[in-house]
Amino acid sequence: MLKHRGFPSRLTGTDAQFTIRRPAKKDIPELKARERYRDRRPADRRADEAFLAALYDYFGEEPFARGNLDAGRINWLFGREIVAAEDPFDPRSYDALLRLDMDVLRRNFPQVLQTAEDW
């Protein structure tokens, strides 16, 4: 499992996890899109926003390996802001390639790119 050194492990001051420490020994968690409802808690939305900002800051528009990125956090964004970057795609592989869908990211989380441009 590739470890993304320097990637934030969680959202500061919360339990929102961004990375995992060790690979699963048996069943690697599958990546699958989870439905996001409009009434999600503000803390969950902030965690999504911070995770996307970290991904954009770390990888930009380039494809990246799933590696030690938390499947639970990816699943909230998978199929929308985060998409498969290879075909065929293995949703249970730590080596699976992903990428940010910049059009969807701009539409759903414009503040992520505005913040990145301000740096």
DSSP code per residue over 17-83:
B-B-SS--SS-PPPP---PPPTT--HHHHHHHHHHHHHHHHHHTTS-EE-TTB-HHHHHTTBTTTEE
Separation between Cα atoms, residue 6 and residue 15, nearest integer Å: 19
Domain encompassing residue 80:
1-119
Question: pLDDT tens, 37-95?
Answer: 888 888 888 889 999 999 999 998 999 999 889 999 999 999 999 999 999 999 999 99
Question: pLDDT tens, 16-41?
Answer: 888 888 877 788 899 999 988 888 88
Q: How many domains does the chain have?
A: 1
